[in-house]
Structure 1
Amino acid sequence: MKNRLLGQWIEKQLADRPLRANSLIITIYGDMIAPHGGTVWLGGLIRLVEPLGLNPRAVRTSVFRLSREKWLASEQIGRRSYYSLTAMGRRRFEHAFHRIYDDARVAWEGDWQVVLTPGYSLTPALREVLRKELLWEGYAAITPGVLIHPSGQTDALLDILQIAGLHDKVVVLQAQTVGALSSRPLKELVDQCWNLGEVAAEYQSFIDRFRSVARALHNASALDPEQCFVIRTLLMHEFRRVQLRDPSLPRQLLPESWPGDTARALCRDIYQLCWGKTEAHLMKMLETADGPLPRAAKRFHARFGGIITGEPEPGGSQPMQTG
């Protein structure tokens, strides 16, 4: 039985903030389908996202576009189409995984990663492609052709350069802060380069939006699987959007009472309340070419610090049989 308060919250969210199908499907693949192998029948996906206001035509158009953009790959078996994450899609999710589900901020010792993109070795188009990739990874452009990040992830950077074919066309340096790690000039530079005020405002908006649904979930005597799926989708769709704009700076460089910490705790709380019912719903609605959707990989249970334990509730292990 559906919860009235949760239903009202869902209805308001869907009315106030229309969802873009492409981005929503990426969220669902990354958060829900990837842990289950990354491949599902298109018909099941269409059924799954219907409560989010996406009609079959919108879903078909979106997966076609995502295939053209190399996020997904399609396979036709009989009259059915199955869509899988590509190797590129998996790499992108892998890069995002730690930033979204783990709080990777560690003690910082003043190290910086510096990427130089000299104009003589890069065309303007390639330079812009690399700039966008590095900004997405949390780097900041301090001057044209110079991007920096404190404690940047070397493996992620090398992967980006390798995929783009630019590993031999840029210069990567390691630098060290001289002086206090929390000096006023340094914090002013950080705030200017990364627009932390805008990121903080987005985190606060996330908190304001989801605080009420957390209370309703805690107070509910029973939870409906479909409502849990919709809430978890909206939760991760919004948290992913905000989190990927957060450059993941060390705590020494952040303002005091950083709202990102409150937002992460709230997201973790709601995720924990919804995950079991959602997983059962996925296993009921989705299927692969080999039959029922496999259970999530063990790594799934390490999300948000390992709070997710146990298995989904029984009753959702068999896919719906339709033509």
Structure 2
Amino acid sequence: MTEEGRPEVPTRTLVEGMVRADGTVDAGELYAVAGELGMTDQQVRLCIKRMAADGLLVQEGRGRRAVLRETDRARRAAEPEVDFVRHMYAQDAGLAPWDGRWHLAAFAVPESARAARDALREFLVRLGGAAVQGGVYAGANRWEPYVEAEAERLGVGHCVTLLTSTDLRVGGESDPLRLARRLWPLDELADGHRRLAAVAADRLARLTGRSPAPTRVERLAVALELAAEFTRATADDPLLPPELLPRPWPGAEARALTADCWRLLRRAERDDPAPDPRFFRRYDEAMTEITGEPHGS
């Protein structure tokens, strides 16, 4: 959070968030939204320059009249994690109950492939895995297809063993609730969700209490703040099923408030002829299947 209590939106998140379905960014609108978020033009220019140097953007034109085009590399890196967002809301709706199985991944990657080993370890953590002991990670959700695909991509598929267990014991502890608290920092995760809930509740009040209605630039700024705080709260969340979490769990409330904000934003965007940023549709795809309500309606 900034000193003013406003969520911090990384400049790169801003640029990536403004990419439209055709892979372009209108620089004029980008700078306008950046100003609404309290960013300077210099910040944005430096970010564009870095992303261009990294092969993620191509700039056509100069200044606010420019058009930015994402490269194929950027498009692949920005593939939406729709499956994970969808799973969060399915859990909250009681549509993804835990089957009592722990999912385990073990690997023995030689020192000669240290980079691949480190990358695989980081990938398992991003999927919600917790280290049980050296080279062994546990998760509560089905992750086998993702782990196998990443291990093969890294060239270490032959070094990975996957299995499930209904009788996991760690240091003599086998109670699922106590195991979850032992393996994951639930208090820290809960604090992150409470911050998201506070931001979403504040933005929901602004969206429903404003007269005249927020402008497109203001709406885009709110959407990016929500997306940044949502990512911040869920980045390290293992997405444990409700059966393994303390009750009440603040994550469900935070996501519900975020969805309420998103509905209002999408309804306003529906009547705007300007192209939507692509990430709007990412959230739509993830949420609509669970709620049954098209979020642009």
Question: TM exceeds 0.5?
Answer: yes
Alignment pair present for 1:153 and 2:153: no
Residue 128 to residue 229, structure 1, CA distance change in 2 (3 Å): same
Q: Residue 240 of structure 2 is aligned with which of 249, 258, 277? A: 249
Q: Distance in 1 between matches of 2:194 and 2:37?
A: 24
Residues 200-238 of structure 1: per-residue CA shift (max 9 Å, x gap): 111112222332332332333441222222111111110
Q: Residues 53 and 87 of structure 1: is their aligned pair in 2 closer, same or farther, counting only changes over 3 Å? A: same
Name the residue aligned to 2:259: 268
- 1:223 and 2:213 aligned: yes
TM-score of the superposed pair, with normalisation by structure 1: 0.72
* Secondary structure at the counterpart of residue 93 of structure 1: coil
For 1:30-69, what aligned pairs fall within 5 Å after superposition? 33=19, 36-67=21-52
Counterpart of 1:174 (choices 138, 153, 163) is 163
Contact 1:113–1:173 (8 Å) recurs in 2: yes
2:136 is equivalent to residue 138 of structure 1: no
Q: In structure 1, what is the equivalent of residue 199 of structure 2?
A: 209
Q: Report the Cα distance in structure 2 between the residues aligned to 1:109 and 1:140, rounded to whole angstroms.
A: 19
1:287 matched residue in structure 2: none
2:61 aligned with 1:84: no
Question: Alpha carbons of 1:19 and 1:174: their partners in 2 closer, same or farther (altered >3 Å)?
Answer: same
Could you tell which deviates more after superposition, 294-303 or 249-258? 294-303
Equivalent residues, number: 281
Question: Secondary structure of 1:147's match?
Answer: strand
Give the percent of matched residue pairs that are identical in Structure 1 and Structure 2.
Answer: 22
* Alignment map for 1:63-142 (pairs within 5 Å): 63-67=48-52, 72-74=56-58, 76=60, 80-84=66-70, 86-87=72-73, 89-90=75-76, 92-94=78-80, 96-100=81-85, 102=87, 103-105=89-91, 106-120=96-110, 123-142=113-132
Structure 1 residue 89, shift from structure 2 partner: 4.3
Offset, 1:162: 3.6
Give 1:18 shift: 4.5
For structure 1, the residue ranges without an aligned partner over 5 or more in a row are 1-9, 285-292, 312-323
Does the 8 Å CA contact 1:200/1:259 hold for their aligned counterparts? yes
Residue pair 1:39, 1:85 contacting (<8 A) in 2 also:
no
TM-score normalized by the length of structure 2: 0.78
Query: SS at 1:256's partner residue?
Result: coil
Q: Which residue of 1 aligns with 2:179?
A: 189
3-state SS of 1:142 partner: strand
Contact between 1:112 and 1:149, CA under 8 Å: does it hold in 2?
yes
How far apart, in 2, do the equivalents of 1:295 and 1:206 lie? 22
- TM-superposed CA distance for 1:247, in Å, is 0.8
Are the counterparts in 1 of residues 129 and 138 from structure 2 also a CA contact under 8 Å? yes
Deviation at 1:126, TM superposition (A): 2.7
Q: How far is the alpha carbon of 1:248 from its aligned partner?
A: 0.9
| 1:232 and 1:275 in contact (8 A); partners too | no
Residue type of the partner of 1:192? Answer: R
Amino acid at match of 2:126: W
Following superposition, the deviation at residue 127 of structure 1 comes to: 1.9
Identify the range of structure 1 (219-228 vs 297-306) with the bigger mean alpha-carbon deviation: 297-306
Give yes or no for contact 1:112–1:148 (8 Å, CA) kept in 2.
yes
- 1:121 is displaced (CA, Å) by 6.1
What corresponds to 1:307 in structure 2?
293
Query: 1:63-114 CA distances to partner (integer Å, 9 max, x unpaired)?
Result: 34335556x24264799552215356445533x2232355243122223332
